[in-house]
Amino acid sequence: MSYQLSKTPLLSEEQIQQRVKEIAVEIVRDMSGDGEGLVVIGLLRGCFMFMADLVREIGKVGGVVDEVDFIVASSYGAGTESSGNVKIERDLRSDIAGRKVLIIDDILDTGNTLTRVSELLKLRSPSVLKTCALLDKPSRREKVIEADFTGFSIKDHFVVGYGLDIDQKYRELSYIGLIEIDNE
Ligand code: IMP
Ligand code: MG
């Protein structure tokens, strides 16, 4: 199978940056009422660019982040397809009991990863647990889950850039691009 990056971006840098600002405002409005800071938890590796921008924007609009932490989860299945069998490869270092937690993911696809991670973190009794995904592919869902905050809902395309990869490539793009697959 060979593939290439489509010449036209699906989402431009400007569109992404504008939406990240809006999501930051939504998050601060919904989660900052009691004045307590957030524990922002990223699902590596795809979240890294979105999370860096989002946390900065949260700070700019007056939100407080008490801690950032990361989880590495991987799902094993046939080939590159996700499966319900999600394994935690690296757990949190922070104690989230009684704290306000926001989980950041790059893209909500089958929903298996975010469902598993949310279930795991809920067992640790945070006072609030909310989820945020930059992208959402609702047509591919296998689990009933929606993120509390979503950047863009997209069709069933494979996308790269702004932290997202194919074979670890294209994460450095400042926009989201489409992958075209040649089935020859
Ligand atoms: P799922 O929701 O458990 O299926 O897994 C979501 C994960 O699969 C994301 O965090 C990405 O790492 C990866 N993924 C799903 N769709 C795409 C895509 O279009 N481009 C890049 N990675 C993707
Ligand atoms: Mg990922």
pLDDT tens-digit series, residues 63-83: 999 999 999 998 765 545 566
Q: Which pLDDT does position 83 carry in this prediction?
A: 65
**Nearest residue (CA) to ligand 1, atom 19:** 158
Full strand arrangement of the beta sheet holding 176-182: 2-11, 176-182, 159-160
Closest CA to 8 of 163, 180, 181: 180
- For β-strands 38-44 and 65-76, DSSP reports them as parallel
Q: Which pLDDT does position 1 carry in this prediction?
A: 81
Residues flanking ligand 1, CB < 6 Å: 46, 75, 82, 105-114, 158-160, 164
pLDDT tens-digit series, residues 28-67: 999 998 889 999 999 999 999 999 999 999 999 999 999 9
Q: Cα 87–93–98 angle (5° rounding)? A: 100
Catalytic pick from 53, 105, 106, 109?
A: 109
Question: How far apart (Å, rounded) are the C-alpha atoms in residues 85 and 143?
Answer: 12
**What atom of ligand 1 comes closest to residue 164's alpha carbon?**
21
Q: Is residue 108's pLDDT more than 60?
A: yes
Q: Average of pLDDT values for 133-137?
A: 98
Q: Which pLDDT does position 81 carry in this prediction?
A: 59
Task: Give this prediction's pTM.
Answer: 0.95
Task: Identify whether 109 is a catalytic site residue.
Answer: yes
Tell me which ligand sits closest to the C-alpha of residue 171.
1
The residue whose CB lies within 8 Å of the most ligand 1 atoms, and thus the one to mutate among 164, 169, 172, 179, is 164
Contact status, residue 4 vs residue 50, Cβ threshold 8 Å: no
Q: Which pLDDT does position 80 carry in this prediction?
A: 54
Residue type, 26: E
Tell me which ligand sits closest to the C-alpha of residue 75.
1
Question: How far apart (Å, rounded) are the C-alpha atoms in residues 149 and 152?
Answer: 10
Work out the mean pLDDT of the chain and round it to a whole number.
94
Q: b or e along 84-114 (b: 16 or more beta carbons within 10 Å of the residue's beta carbon)?
A: eebeeeeebebebeebbbbbbbbbbbbbbbb
Q: Which pLDDT does position 85 carry in this prediction?
A: 84
Q: Which pLDDT does position 82 carry in this prediction?
A: 63
- For β-strands 176-182 and 159-160, DSSP reports them as antiparallel
- For β-strands 128-136 and 100-108, DSSP reports them as parallel
